[in-house]
Structure 1
Amino acid sequence: MENIDIGKRVEQYRKAKVLSIRELAKLAEITPSMLSQIERGLANPSIQTLKVLAKALDVPTFSFFLEEKNTADLVVRTNQRRKMVIDNLSYELLSPDFTGNLASAIMKVPPNTSSSEKLLEHKGEEVAFILEGKIKVYLNEEEHILEAGDSVKIPAYMKHKWENDFNQNAVVLFSVTPPAF
């Protein structure tokens, strides 16, 4: 939690609401000088003061404690994607990592390959979009053939598997929440 600057957060929310220091101080029933000191990091507000500021700014109190993200860590360059190969299927992670609630990847399925021998299930929801080729997806026991441009949503715990018994590679973009591969 070393990247947290509560005063900076208060100032950002205040400016987003187009409030002056005096206006926010009046709404929060604190002095303008106290608010100024909080924003400049010269005073540490009590939890009660933060609750009052959060209410005046119409934001959750916890929002003052969220860590700053280095935006460079959010970018994934094409030549720096994490890649893994499992039984001829290749995966390229489009998300920077598996933190958070969502991960996206590209799955390449060569001809005569399937994602598993039997139908599998997991707790995450999945949405897949076929980028290239065509592929069979089994949802429970039903078979669906998807072609480039088609998409499918796979609800949590639905048994499924991918199978490419066609003569060209299939490339599937998918996102899953929570991240699970």
Structure 2
Amino acid sequence: MEEIDIGKKVEKYRKAKDLSIRELAKLSEITPSMLSQIERGLANPSIQTIKVLAKSLDVPTFSFFIEEINTVDLVVRSDHRKKMVIENLSYELISPDFTGNLATAIMNFPPNTASSEKQLEHKGEEVAYVLKGKIKVFLDDEEYILEPGDSVKIPAQMKHKWENHFNEHAAILFSVTPPVF
């Protein structure tokens, strides 16, 4: 975990509001030199000072304590996807990880495979899109054959199952929220 630089965040929010150090200092009732020291990391503000700065900048106090997102961690290169194999099925994670409220993956189905023996349900809502091949999806008591370009939404707690009883490989892009597998 990186150390959080509150001063840099104060400066970022101040500049976003187009305020000078003097203007923010006046709004926050602290000296310009103290604010300058906070922004440069030379002084550690008290919790009370952070609350006052947050109010003056019209941002939540906790926003000063949230770690910055490193954008390089948001990019997933096609040759560096996390892969998981369960029996004959493989999953390639398209999203960087399972943090957050959404995960996206590609399910790869060789011919004559199924996602499970019986229909399963989970708390996550799902949307799936067929990239290639044909696939049969069971939704409660109904069955549908999906082909490339077709999609399906599977509500949370709906029993479902995937089967590929065709002669070609199938690939399905799907997103789940919250991410559960």
Task: Name the structure 2 match of 1:40.
Answer: 40
- How far apart in 1 are the matches of 2:147 and 2:59? 44
Task: Name the structure 2 match of 1:61.
Answer: 61
Report the CA distance shift for 1:150/1:19 in structure 2 as closer, same or farther (over 3 A): farther
Aligned pairs for 1:1-181 (under 5 A) are 1-181=1-181
Cα deviation digits, residues 66-103 of structure 1 (max 9, x gap):
11333323222222211122121111112222222222
Cα deviation digits, residues 144-172 of structure 1 (max 9, x gap):
22222222222222211111222322111
TM-score w.r.t. structure 1 length? 0.89
Cα deviation digits, residues 13-69 of structure 1 (max 9, x gap):
111222221222223232222221111111111222212222222222111111133
- How far apart in 1 are the matches of 2:25 and 2:84? 54
- How far apart in 2 are the matches of 1:162 and 1:93? 18
- Where do 4+ consecutive residues of structure 1 move more than 4 Å? none
Give the residue type in structure 1 aligned to 2:25: A
Report the CA distance shift for 1:132/1:21 in structure 2 as closer, same or farther (over 3 A): same
- How far apart in 2 are the matches of 1:150 and 1:16? 44
- How far apart in 2 are the matches of 1:145 and 1:28? 63
Report the CA distance shift for 1:60/1:152 in structure 2 as closer, same or farther (over 3 A): farther
Give the residue type in structure 1 aligned to 2:83: K
SS in 1 for 2:123: coil
Structure 2 unaligned residues grouped into runs of 5+ = none
Give the residue type in structure 2 aligned to 1:68: E
Give the residue type in structure 1 aligned to 2:159: K
Q: Is the 8 A contact 1:3 1:68 kept in 2?
A: no
Structure 1 unaligned residues grouped into runs of 5+ = none
RMSD: 1.8
| Count of aligned positions | 181
TM-score w.r.t. structure 2 length? 0.89
